[in-house]
């Protein structure tokens, strides 16, 4: 088997192999538009691509140092990890941070350790929720918490309407609501430019879809969902602080589930589970199955700079947490 960097001619084979939208060729194209370098690579056996993956290259602010990010990729193999080390050396990286789209297992962790990987600081949550879309609507409702079923009925009684709307106007409305949500809830989010470029690339490709929940012609909830393979994903959501009594978010989730079923998808990945967070409690009410991934792993490329990077990273996150505590509550 051999590994090499890919060219545009490999796109079709590549997209048939990757099993997460963040590993899609289109996601790489979007990241390139943001100014991030993308390396697409594949493993070949007798000339046929057997696995494909992509790495994004990030420059550390105010320095010339770089790190790689390899998120939601396939299960690592010794062949792949060797190739990653070679790419890292060619690019002059300090490390490649990996968060495989692979369920937790002692075998997987052992393979990573045997190839020099060590535990790293997470970017995605280690756990997520999955909803089985092959079940009937009746089964899905039965699996929900009684309060969740009640809130879905509340949204229906108030006439909350949910529909897909991928128009330019709908996206501008989504951005406005997202900025409002970020300000109201006081959390950090990607920039407006980031979201515009993401939508510009992923919507025409059929990956990104925009769902709106309206009450009396007013948009209360707006979600961007991804469709990839047999799975629906919920990465981005925004909501209004008005008319919370109509439970529009519950109506949105239920209609998103039905949207995935109508597309013939088999799974709905709710994109994250984090204990103690309000969004986790909301998701739990829909009766999903929690799953745990193998976690975050660093593949050190520079044995001298990697320890220094981890020390600096730790100090930086302490600073950010302290800064957050000093920020006024909005």
Asked if residue 218 and residue 143 are part of one domain, the reply reads: yes
Asked if residue 237 and residue 309 are part of one domain, the reply reads: no
For residues 217-250, one letter each, b for 16 or more C-beta atoms within 10 angstroms of the residue's C-beta and e for the rest, the string is: eebbbbbbbbbbeebbbbbbbbbbeeeeebbbbb
Q: Per-residue pLDDT averaged across 220-228, rounded?
A: 98
Residue 317 has pLDDT above 70, yes or no: no
What CATH number does residue 144 fall under?
A: 3.40.630.30
Q: Per-residue pLDDT averaged across 209-231, rounded?
A: 97
Instruction: Quote the pLDDT of residue 279.
Output: 86
Strands 208-215 and 267-269 turn out to be: unpaired
Strands 218-228 and 118-119 turn out to be: unpaired
Instruction: Quote the pLDDT of residue 323.
Output: 46
pLDDT top residue among 239 and 317:
239
- Give the lowest-confidence range in 56-65, 199-208, 311-320: 311-320
Instruction: Quote the pLDDT of residue 270.
Output: 97
Instruction: Quote the pLDDT of residue 254.
Output: 98
Task: Say how far residue 289 (Cα) sits from the centre of its chain.
Answer: 18
208 in Cβ contact with 199 (< 8 Å): yes
Residue 186 has pLDDT above 80, yes or no: no
Asked if residue 133 and residue 119 are part of one domain, the reply reads: no
Q: What does the alpha-carbon distance between residue 78 and residue 54 come to, in Å, rounded to a whole number? A: 16
Instruction: Quote the pLDDT of residue 329.
Output: 30
Q: What does the alpha-carbon distance between residue 69 and residue 43 come to, in Å, rounded to a whole number? A: 18
Class of residue 152 by CB neighbours under 10 A (exposed 0-12, middle 13-18, buried 19+): buried
Residue 320 has pLDDT above 70, yes or no: no
The C-alpha R_g of the chain, in whole angstroms, comes to: 21
- Averaged pLDDT of the chain: 93
Give the angle subtended at the CA of 55 by the CAs of 52 and 61, to the nearest 5°. 175
Asked if residue 269 and residue 156 are part of one domain, the reply reads: yes
Instruction: Quote the pLDDT of residue 187.
Output: 66
Asked if residue 298 and residue 275 are part of one domain, the reply reads: no
Asked if residue 147 and residue 115 are part of one domain, the reply reads: no
Asked if residue 150 and residue 54 are part of one domain, the reply reads: no
Instruction: Quote the pLDDT of residue 313.
Output: 85
The token pair that represents 175 in the structure block:
């951005």
Q: What does the alpha-carbon distance between residue 151 and residue 141 come to, in Å, rounded to a whole number? A: 12
297 in Cβ contact with 121 (< 8 Å): no
Predicted model pTM: 0.92
Measuring CA to CA, which residue among 58, 28, 26 is closest to residue 40?
Answer: 28
Name the band, by pLDDT with cuts 50, 70 and 90, for residue 319. low
| Strand ranges across the sheet with 297-300 | 2-5, 37-45, 48-59, 66-71, 93-99, 297-300, 118-119
Instruction: Quote the pLDDT of residue 327.
Output: 34
Asked if residue 39 and residue 119 are part of one domain, the reply reads: yes
Q: What does the alpha-carbon distance between residue 68 and residue 302 come to, in Å, rounded to a whole number? A: 12
Task: Say how far residue 234 (Cα) sits from the centre of its chain.
Answer: 8
103 in Cβ contact with 296 (< 8 Å): no
Q: Which residues pair with 44 in a beta bridge?
A: 2, 49
The token pair that represents 213 in the structure block:
């929940």
Q: What does the alpha-carbon distance between residue 213 and residue 222 come to, in Å, rounded to a whole number? A: 6
Name the band, by pLDDT with cuts 50, 70 and 90, for residue 324. very low
Percent of the chain with pLDDT over 90: 85
Asked if residue 137 and residue 197 are part of one domain, the reply reads: yes
Q: What does the alpha-carbon distance between residue 268 and residue 230 come to, in Å, rounded to a whole number? A: 9
44 in Cβ contact with 4 (< 8 Å): yes
28 in Cβ contact with 54 (< 8 Å): yes
Residue 326 has pLDDT above 60, yes or no: no
Instruction: Quote the pLDDT of residue 315.
Output: 84
Q: Which domain holds residue 172?
A: 127-291
pLDDT tens per residue across span 268-306: 999 989 887 778 999 999 999 999 999 999 999 999 999
- Give the lowest-confidence range in 30-34, 41-45, 61-65, 312-316: 312-316
Counting the structural domains of the chain, the total is 2
Instruction: Quote the pLDDT of residue 181.
Output: 84
pLDDT tens per residue across span 125-144: 999 999 999 999 999 999 99
Asked if residue 41 and residue 24 are part of one domain, the reply reads: yes
261 in Cβ contact with 138 (< 8 Å): no
Asked if residue 270 and residue 182 are part of one domain, the reply reads: yes
Asked if residue 280 and residue 140 are part of one domain, the reply reads: yes
């Amino acid at each position: 088997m051999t590994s090499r960097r890919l060219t545009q001619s490999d796109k079709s084979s590549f997209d048939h192999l990757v099993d997460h939208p963040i590993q899609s060729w289109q996601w790489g194209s979007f990241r390139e538009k943001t100014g991030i370098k993308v390396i697409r690579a594949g493993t070949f056996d007798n000339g046929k691509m057997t696995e494909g993956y992509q790495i994004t290259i990030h420059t550390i602010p105010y320095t010339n140092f770089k790190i790689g990010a390899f998120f939601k990729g396939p299960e690592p193999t010794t062949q792949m990890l060797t190739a990653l080390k070679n790419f890292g050396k060619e690019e002059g990286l300090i490390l490649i941070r990996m968060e495989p789209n692979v369920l937790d297992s002692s075998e997987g962790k052992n393979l990573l350790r045997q190839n020099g990987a060590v535990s790293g600081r997470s970017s995605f949550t280690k756990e997520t929720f999955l909803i089985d879309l092959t079940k009937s609507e009746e089964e899905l409702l039965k699996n929900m918490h009684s309060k969740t079923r009640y809130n879905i009925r509340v949204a229906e009684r108030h006439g909350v309407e949910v529909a897909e709307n991928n128009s330019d106007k709908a996206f501008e409305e989504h951005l406005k609501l997202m900025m409002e949500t970020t300000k109201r809830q006081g959390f950090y989010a990607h920039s407006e430019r980031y979201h515009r470029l993401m939508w510009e690339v992923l919507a025409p490709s059929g990956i990104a879809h925009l769902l709106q929940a309206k009450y009396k012609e007013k948009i209360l909830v707006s979600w961007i969902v991804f469709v990839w393979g047999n799975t629906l994903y919920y990465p981005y959501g925004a909501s209004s602080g008005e008319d919370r009594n109509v439970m529009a978010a519950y109506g949105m989730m239920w209609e998103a589930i039905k949207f995935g079923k109508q597309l013939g998808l088999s799974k709905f990945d709710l994109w994250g589970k984090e204990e103690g967070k309000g969004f986790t409690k909301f998701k739990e009410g829909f009766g999903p199955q929690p799953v745990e991934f193998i976690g975050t792993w660093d593949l050190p490329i520079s044995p001298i700079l990697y320890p220094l990077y981890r020390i600096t990273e730790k100090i930086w996150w302490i600073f950010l947490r302290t800064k957050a505590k000093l920020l006024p509550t909005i």
